[in-house]
């Protein structure tokens, strides 16, 4: 009996990997971090960051490990998106991949490591063709990000410590690929009472300037009413 089970394990062995869609926000654009593969198959083509799942770790641990190796960051927001198991999705073999998306702030903390790996930030509009089914993975991750952004002000993970409401609205414009009404958006965001207005202004937006805001400490129970509705 044990031999039969062992043989079945050997015959049905498949590889397990993780792939990460890494989002960042810079110059009023939502961007995705990709790199050129240095191994076959598809060497030299653009790819998401990924890696194998070791026998002694979970898929989330594997995703955090490969993210840390690329960025040097440990406290990265990570959320599982989907599992892709089509046997022919990877020409190198039968690979099941568990997809995650990550949110990181584009700043100098991770820039050197990212450059060492030949990775590059692309806006959604300029994202090149990716290997295998990675284009589908980006689409799935964006859908998941939109769902999260509907119930949580996602700027906590993408914006600098202080920001204007215009910049926050522009981030939502990018995530949802639509233009939100400035007045309705402002009213909705301020009604959540999760932002603190500072006495400092950004004078680049208008002659009067625009007040900077920062996030209050997060309360897990604060997001019960959807942020994104048709009225915004």
pLDDT of residue 221: 46
Q: Is the pLDDT of residue 205 over 90?
A: no
Taking CA atoms, 52 is separated from 14, 48, 189, in Å, by 12, 13, 40
pLDDT of residue 203: 87
* CATH class name, domain 2-151: alpha beta
Q: Is the pLDDT of residue 38 over 70?
A: yes
Question: Residue 133 — pLDDT band, cuts 50, 70, 90?
Answer: very high
Q: Does domain 154-215 have CATH number 1.10.10.10?
A: yes
Indicate the pairing of strand 95-103 with strand 119-123.
unpaired
Q: Domain residues of the chain, as ranges?
A: 2-151, 154-215
For 197-230, b where at least 16 C-beta lie within 10 A, e where not — what string?
eeeeeeeeeeeeebebbeeeeeeeeebeeebbee
Token reading at 31: 């961007």
* Residue 119, C-beta contacts closer than 8 angstroms, at least 6 positions apart: 33, 34, 35, 49, 70
| pLDDT over 90 percentage in the chain | 64
Tens of pLDDT, residue by residue over 103-128, are: 998 876 667 778 788 899 999 999 99
pLDDT of residue 70: 87
Tens of pLDDT, residue by residue over 52-103, are: 999 999 999 999 999 999 888 888 999 999 999 999 999 888 999 999 999 9
Q: Are 154 and 148 in contact (CB under 8 A)?
A: yes
What is the reported pTM? 0.88
pLDDT of residue 225: 59
Question: Residue 208 — pLDDT band, cuts 50, 70, 90?
Answer: confident
């Amino acid at each position: 009996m044990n031999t039969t089970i062992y043989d079945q394990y050997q015959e049905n062995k498949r590889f397990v990997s993780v792939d990460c869609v890494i989002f960042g926000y810079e110059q009023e654009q939502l961007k995705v971090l990709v790199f050129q593969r240095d191994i076959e198959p598809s060497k030299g083509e653009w790819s998401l960051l990924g890696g194998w799942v070791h026998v002694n770790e979970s898929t989330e641990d594997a995703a955090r490990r490969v993210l840390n190796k690329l960025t040097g960051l440990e406290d990265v927001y990570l959320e599982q998106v989907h599992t892709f198991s089509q046997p022919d999705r990877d020409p190198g073999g039968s690979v099941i991949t568990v997809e995650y998306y990550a949110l990181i702030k584009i700043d100098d903390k991770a820039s050197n490591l990212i450059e060492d790996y030949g990775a590059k930030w692309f806006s959604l509009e300029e994202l090149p063709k990716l290997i295998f089914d990675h284009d589908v993975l980006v689409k799935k991750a964006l859908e998941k990000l939109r769902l999260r952004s509907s119930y949580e002000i996602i700027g906590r993970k993408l914006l600098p410590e202080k920001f204007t409401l215009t910049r926050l609205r522009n981030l939502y414009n990018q995530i949802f690929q639509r233009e939100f009404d400035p007045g309705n958006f402002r009213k909705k965001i301020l009604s959540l009472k999760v932002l603190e207005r500072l006495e400092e202004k950004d004078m680049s937006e208008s002659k009067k300037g625009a007040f900077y805001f920062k996030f209050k400490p997060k309360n897990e129970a604060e997001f019960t009413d959807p942020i994104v509705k048709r009225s915004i």
